[in-house]
Amino acid sequence: MKTRKLGNSELEVSTLGFGCMGLSFPDAPPKEESIKLIRSAFDLGINFFDTAQRYGDNELLVGEALEPIRNQVKIATKFGFKGGTHQLDMDSSPKSIRASAESSLKRLKTDYIDLFYQHRVDPKVPIEDVAGTVKDLIQEGKVKHFGLCEADAETIHRAHTEQAVTALQSEYSMFYREPENEILSTLEELGIGFVPFSPLGKGYLTGTITANTDFDKTDARNIMPRFSKENRAINQPLVDLVVAIANDKNVSPAQIALAWLLAQKPFIVPIPGTSKLHRLQENIGGANITLSDEELNKIDTALKEITIVGERYPQQIQAKVGK
């Protein structure tokens, strides 16, 4: 697989990363199967793996899977929650950041973190203090690069002034294009890489979800307004568009969605996640598809005529996420 640099940094990674969060969901495969999948991703050319302290036992899983090949991969993890769990409040105080770093190093079975993201902007702690603490960790050799998640343009500028931000991780896909309003231009101006999560629209862009799809009762999409039955019906034209383009090129809708995303900027590195080997192979195939200027213009013209309805998250969660 080809590689990309995250902005102006020296952090060069595979064109696609692997989002490991789903391997710690309740319906995830058994541990040994998950470890095998992560190692298969590496064998297939992926060297960039994303986890977080907040994802339950995910760091332990990723650490065990990658320990034999640690010097050949880049590991990204995150800090910013008390105790590292989503049930507790945000905490990006310097003391908490340092505690999170030590915990992550131990759980990941490593002595350095390649990319250390603030998981969400903490309104109680000035971003300069956050960046300054990570800067100290970088000088100590425990962290290589600093990242932010779902930060707005002003926060990115302020953080970057204190310590160079290597990458921003936020949601971005044909299904959620808000970063195009301000974030992409900010990243390009400052030389910062972009790591989109949910590049397949939480599965919506695979072409396998319709208004009649019934999600398992444990599926988080049940509480997402964008995935209500009514909104899925309204948003169906986007799926129809992606499926039509995929059929024309004899590839899958997911591969078109990833190829489109990669074509937006050369500093974009999506991190699709999956628990299935055939989906992993399919995603990697998307990195090898090139859309012509004509095809991209056709897609963009069509996208302008499609209005996506429904918030990403329920109201109580939406207030806590960023850009």
Reduced DSSP (H G I as helix, E B as strand, rest coil) percent helix, strand, coil of the chain, to 5: 50, 15, 35
Long-range Cβ contacts of 291-300 (<8 Å, 24+ apart): 291/256, 291/259, 291/260, 291/263, 295/245, 296/260, 296/263, 298/245, 299/174, 299/241, 299/245, 299/260
Is 172 in the active site?
no
Q: Distance (Å, rounded) from C-alpha 76 to C-alpha 282?
A: 23
Euclidean distance between CA atoms 224 and 216, whole angstroms: 14
Do residues 63 and 39 touch, judged by C-beta distance below 8 A? no
39, two tokens: 């190692």
> Among candidates 149, 151, 148, 147, which has minimal Cα distance to 113?
147
82 and 96 in contact (C-beta within 8 Å)?
A: yes
Write down the catalytic residue from 55, 172, 176, 204: 55
Q: Which helix (H) or strand (E) holds 165?
A: strand 165-171
Residue holding tokens 């991209």? 296
Under DSSP, the state recorded for 220 is: G
Pair 270, 195: CB distance under 8 Å: yes
- CB 130, CB 124: distance < 8 Å: no
Q: How far apart are CA 248 and CA 98, in angstroms?
A: 51
Residue 267 near residue 187, CB atoms below 8 Å: yes
What is the C-alpha to C-alpha distance for residues 285 and 287, in angstroms, rounded to an integer? Answer: 5
Q: How far is CA 300 from the centre of its chain?
A: 22
Active site residues: 55
